[in-house]
Amino acid sequence: MSLDKATVRNIANLARIEIRDEDLDHLAGELSNIMTFVEQLSEVNTDGIEPMTSVAAMTLPLRKDVITDGGQPEAVLLNAPEAEDGFFTVPKVVE
Amino acid sequence: MAYIIQGETGDWEVVIGLEVHAQVISHSKLFSGAATEFGAEPNTQVSFVDAGFPGMLPVINEVCVAQAVKTGLGLKARINLTSVFARKNYFYADLPQGYQISQFDKPIVGEGEVILDLPDGSTRTVGIERLHLEQDAGKSIHDMHPSKSFIDLNRSGVALMEIVSKPDLRSPEEAGLYLTKLRSILRYLETCDGNMQEGSMRCDANVSVRPVGSTELRTRCEIKNVNSIRYVQQAIEFEARRHIDVYETGGTISQETRLFDSIKVETRSMRSKEQAHDYRYFPDPDLLPLVIAQDFVDGIKAGLPELPDAKKTRFMAEYGLNAYDAGVLVAERISAEFFETVAKGRDAKIACNWVMGDFFAALNATGKTMENPPVSAKDLGALIDLIGDGTLSGRLAKDVFALMVETGKAPGVLVEEKGLKQVTDTGAIEAAVDAVIAANPDKVQQVKDGKTTLLGWFVGQVMKATQGKANPAMVNEMLSKKVLG
Amino acid sequence: MRTLTNLTLAEGRDKLAKGEFTAVELTAAHIGAVEARRDLNAFIVETPELALEEAKASDLRRQAGQAGAMDGLPIGIKDLFCTKGVQTTAASHILEGFKPPYDSFVSAKLKAAGAISLGKLNLDEFAMGSSNQTSYFGAVENPWKRISDPKAKLVPGGSSGGSAAAVAARMVMAATGTDTGGSIRQPAAFCGITGIKPTYGRCSRWGIVAFASSLDQAGPMARTVRDCAIMLGSMAGFDPKDSTSVNMAVPDFEAALTGDIRGLKIGIPKEYRPVGLSDEVAKVWDQGIEWLRAAGATPVEITLPHTKYALATYYIIAPAECSSNLARYDGLRFGQRVAGKTLDEMYAKTRAAGFGAEVRRRILIGTYVLSAGYYDAYYAKAQKVRRLIAEDFRKAFETVDVILTPTAPTAAFGQGEGTDDPVTMWLNDIFTIPTSMAGLPGLSLPAGLSADGLPLGLQLIGRPFDEETVFKVAGVMETAANFTARPPQHPPCGCGPKGECV
């Protein structure tokens, strides 16, 4: 399996990681190697096998519907790189 | 009521599927213990789970699960005892985790139906594809700063039910009826308050068109987040017309997400979402498969209220109402209950006329709500009783009703206070009748000569003389006897 | 001073109870050791003042007769565990400066048991790595040295490399680790200490920076089997805030160390002798089998046929989960932000600058294998193979009680060696990954030294939630191995009058 530069650019965009043009070739090579390595799974017969969704043989625990959290805007905003008037702020999103 | 759009090249029909996001009524969020109440100060109802802090994990709220099951049952849908939460991955400023926890290929509720009540009294069934549970995102506010967007995460993590219809709708009107009916069902079930202004019910419309007679499904566009039934209808109308214009000028429609501008009444492409959607769904490894017991479902089923369709059928059978009246009365659980309180032990037709007529008119005129009605069901019932026992004539009753709205007083009290009691004393009525007869010998003669329609004039004179208080039936009877002999 | 820092947790606990020294003395001795071995770069943040305050409080608790199970014992916390008010970075630039407003469930439990944290230990960035060279805060050095080349800097293994190095170098008595594909066991083996990854679900993941949620599991790293048993007892337990935490009573792990393994069946998987397995490792493994046989257990050859696919399975599932888990590091609510003209530009610049090469690589692979058109071929396929791997173990445990394997295919290697190709680096984890895929408990303990003087570890794998049998067998093996070697003290510890080691 080999990933071309366009594919790498596309997944980097999906993952929101900026990639410099000069790094694309090298990265495409590395990722292709990895994909070639994992390609070996195709030789395993998995007909009729259900994908494993959890390690533990248990089902989802349910919680009571009670308010136990919140009311701490200062703590929520404390680590924010940018905040104003009780809001997080980001560059303006135009729609 | 086929909805046909005439184009240059021929007739077109529109194919619509709706995705409704209904906020689940619960105290706390789907996966955290923060509150869900609307309108709090920014970021005050946020747990570190909702803000996507490192190491935070989701734990599901049992009431939200129960609400989804209840809604599924209300939509006569299949309940999936095993369902799986999946992550829908995308980046957005108000999506703190970088993914939304939703359900993908294994939703909690499968296929169901919604029955539309058409204006002509007939019905039409619209298929429900699925209902799944998911988290809401936070809120981005774009108009507080010239170069920044502000993010409030209060809504982040609130439970939503996404209810997806099949592409069964064929007109903006049907879309409106579907939303109205769905809202009614949700409100009956008390699983969503249906408040579109506050955003607790939002709608995405998938719209495509095709030539009449064709069965193909052409490329659809999704109009996002429309927040009123009227806007949904306008958006569909505009979008269908746009598709037809594109096709008829030789163009193609590309699948995309569009935004409805309610001021310009048009849809437009959302540029920011133009990048390829690739949500990379996969089962959320922080959550195990949700397995619910049949007993749990049965328990919820046993506690289901009577829903609008069943209630409507019953109202028609039990009270002899027509489909239209029954449909209006059952649209809201509270109005149906109001009607039933009024009708209990009384003539249902009369009760229906009063509720549908004077009462709804007063509700509109006063701007009051069913929760705090201008006249209580008990008082309206008492008023009808006063007509039944002859205390009030129909005409007087309307005056009394107006006073009830104005003063909030019980009808009995008003009758006493204003002396509006209908006169049923034979002597008093006879005296008035005699006086009118004595004063109009020529007209008496005309009646005797066969102009019986004049009797109505006599009734009016007697009523006038008694300030409307005389019992009209008694007046009628006595006049006939005395004039015609 | 040396005597205090050489004590095991069990010895420290008993001597504190007898009043032979105070928690303040014990803590101060270890703070000195931490300062003396800063050359290893094992800590990202040291918290000596906090530690001394806690030590004072511990002594007061003890006077009041309220000492907890680990009261007064100095430990280190892997910097993947959130610690309230103390910077938590996951060794990533993107989280630099982040001070969590909460303690992880496990670190809070340890605190409640009286353990004293000396600070936050270095690791591979976001726990992704097997050599602790991907940390933004610099590589950690293994205190052990090759006889043939004492100047060469060796890796401590990873990702819990800071934890392993600090425990081996006697800077802390024990440390927390986390293990996703071998991140407790492989560094334990490289540094000549003991560490256990408990059964998935045994320790809460709440408050631990997530790497791959379906695999991540916290566990203790210490210098003896008993110490691991003591510490796991203070880390494990049901947490309603983690939906994958198991609601089971925590057994008295220490009580499992009976020394009696007669009649137990020990599985020896034939697939764990791949081409290229070093002779030394193979020899230690054979020796381990003999020790257990001599103690009355029966070695049984077993087959785990899907072993060879575990690595490929892991390198689909772990990156897929990490690509999603690390989406929250977007420069918006915490950590570093690089400004951008648009929101998307801010994201892309922040994440490019904030994540190191290995993390970026795994995010990209994960994004790719989950993307449209590839999900079934990769992720769904890997989850099916994972089930087959788990099934292999389930069948094996129908006939055996515990499985013995090497922990890693080699001893510790040098910094900078074999880092060119990520896939080669991943081969370090071939013996530990299958256990992680199946969610089983796995313990590594030192079993001998290589000819070049480096520790070699053996791994014991147990049935789900049967850490007790693992501890029991490990205890017997520890006695038989009598591993008393210690890493050299460099730089000089300063104990003797001229700075020489005692």
pLDDT tens digits, one per residue of B312-331: 999 999 999 999 999 999 99
* A28 Cβ under 8 Å from any chain C Cβ: no
User: Quick check: B27 and A65 CB within 8 A?
Assistant: yes
The three-class DSSP label of residue B48 is: coil
User: Quick check: B287 and C243 CB within 8 A?
Assistant: yes
Chains contacting B (3+ CB pairs below 8 angstroms): A, C
The pLDDT of residue B271 is: 61
pLDDT tier for residue C2 given thresholds of 50, 70 and 90:
low
pLDDT tier for residue C496 given thresholds of 50, 70 and 90:
very low
B14 plus B67 within the same structural domain: yes
Task: Tell me the two tokens of residue B271.
Answer: 């540029």
Please, which residues bridge with residue C222 across strands?
C174, C194
Q: Which residues of C touch B53 (CB under 8 A)?
A: 100, 102, 328, 333-334
Identify whether the C-beta of residue B133 lies closer than 8 Å to the C-beta of residue B159.
yes
Q: Provide the shortest C-alpha distance from residue C124 to chain B (in Å).
A: 17
Tell me the helices (H) and strands (E) count for chain C, helix number first.
16, 11
Q: Which one of B276, B301, B326 terminates a domain?
A: B301
Q: Which residues of C touch A47 (CB under 8 A)?
A: none
Q: Which residue has the tokens 């746009």?
A: B242
- Please give the tally of structural domains in chain A: 1
The pLDDT of residue B1 is: 54
Lowest mean per-residue pLDDT among B298-302, B441-445, C47-51, C145-149: B441-445
The pLDDT of residue C441 is: 98
Q: Which residues of B touch A10 (CB under 8 A)?
A: 276
pLDDT tier for residue C500 given thresholds of 50, 70 and 90:
very low
Q: How many CB pairs under 8 A join A and B?
A: 138
Length of chain A: 95
The pLDDT of residue C491 is: 53
B347 plus B288 within the same structural domain: no
Tell me the per-residue pLDDT of A73-91, one tens digit each, with 9 for 90 and over: 999 999 999 999 999 999 9
Assess if residue A14 is contained within a domain.
Answer: yes
CA gap C50, C52 in Å, rounded: 6
Buried b / exposed e along C192-211 (16+ C-beta atoms within 10 A): bbbbbbbbbbbbbbbbbbbb
B77 plus B172 within the same structural domain: yes
- Please give the tally of structural domains in chain B: 3
Tell me the per-residue pLDDT of B461-483, one tens digit each, with 9 for 90 and over: 888 888 777 877 888 888 888 88
The pLDDT of residue C277 is: 81
Determine the residue of chain B that is closest to C332 in CA distance. B93
Assess if residue A65 is contained within a domain.
Answer: no
Lowest mean per-residue pLDDT among B117-126, B274-283, B442-451, C51-60: B274-283
B283 plus B380 within the same structural domain: no
**Domain coverage including residue A22:** 5-43
B296 plus B411 within the same structural domain: no
B59 vs B412, higher pLDDT: B59
Q: Which residues of C touch B87 (CB under 8 A)?
A: 324
Cis status, amide bond into C130, omega within 30 of 0: no
The pTM for the full model equals: 0.91
Q: Which residues of C touch A27 (CB under 8 A)?
A: 361, 364
User: Quick check: B93 and C82 CB within 8 A?
Assistant: no
pLDDT tier for residue C502 given thresholds of 50, 70 and 90:
very low
pLDDT at C335 over 90: yes
B214 plus B174 within the same structural domain: yes
Tell me the per-residue pLDDT of B332-372, one tens digit each, with 9 for 90 and over: 999 999 999 999 999 999 999 999 999 999 999 999 999 99
Nearest CB to C333; choose among A11, A80, A91: A80
CA gap B444, B485 in Å, rounded: 11
3-state secondary structure B342-364: HHCCCCHHHHHHHHHHHHHHHHH
Q: Provide the shortest C-alpha distance from residue B303 to chain A (in Å).
A: 19
Average pLDDT over residues C73-82: 98
Start-to-end CA distance of chain A, whole Å, equals: 38
**How many other C-beta atoms can be found within 10 angstroms of the C-beta atom of residue B71?**
26
The pLDDT of residue B275 is: 57
**Domain coverage including residue C22:** 1-502
Q: Give the H or E element holding residue C177.
A: strand C174-179
User: Quick check: C321 and B53 CB within 8 A?
Assistant: no
Q: Which residue has the tokens 């789970």?
A: B49
Buried b / exposed e along B421-437 (16+ C-beta atoms within 10 A): ebbeeeeebeebbeebb
CA gap C40, C35 in Å, rounded: 10
Assess if residue A68 is contained within a domain.
Answer: no
Interface test with B, best of C332, C351, C375, C383 (most B CBs within 10 A): C332
Tell me the per-residue pLDDT of C154-179, one tens digit each, with 9 for 90 and over: 999 999 999 999 999 999 999 999 99
CA gap C191, B227 in Å, rounded: 62
CA gap C183, C459 in Å, rounded: 13
Lowest mean per-residue pLDDT among B120-129, B274-283, C220-229, C479-488: B274-283
pLDDT at B274 over 50: no
The pLDDT of residue C492 is: 46
User: Quick check: B282 and C320 CB within 8 A?
Assistant: yes
pLDDT at C44 over 70: yes
Average pLDDT taken over every residue of chain C: 95
User: Quick check: A33 and C422 CB within 8 A?
Assistant: yes
Residue C13 sits in a domain whose CATH number is: 3.90.1300.10
Q: Which residues of B touch A71 (CB under 8 A)?
A: 44-45
pLDDT at C70 over 50: yes
Percent of chain C with pLDDT over 90: 92
Tell me the per-residue pLDDT of B8-61, one tens digit each, with 9 for 90 and over: 999 999 999 999 999 999 999 999 999 999 999 999 999 999 999 999 999 999
B275 plus B335 within the same structural domain: no
- Please give the tally of structural domains in chain C: 1
The pLDDT of residue B242 is: 96
pLDDT at A56 over 80: no
Assess if residue A33 is contained within a domain.
Answer: yes
User: Quick check: B43 and A14 CB within 8 A?
Assistant: no
**Domain coverage including residue B478:** 426-484
User: Quick check: C98 and B54 CB within 8 A?
Assistant: yes
B321 plus B460 within the same structural domain: no
Tell me the per-residue pLDDT of A8-42, one tens digit each, with 9 for 90 and over: 999 999 999 999 999 999 999 999 999 999 999 99
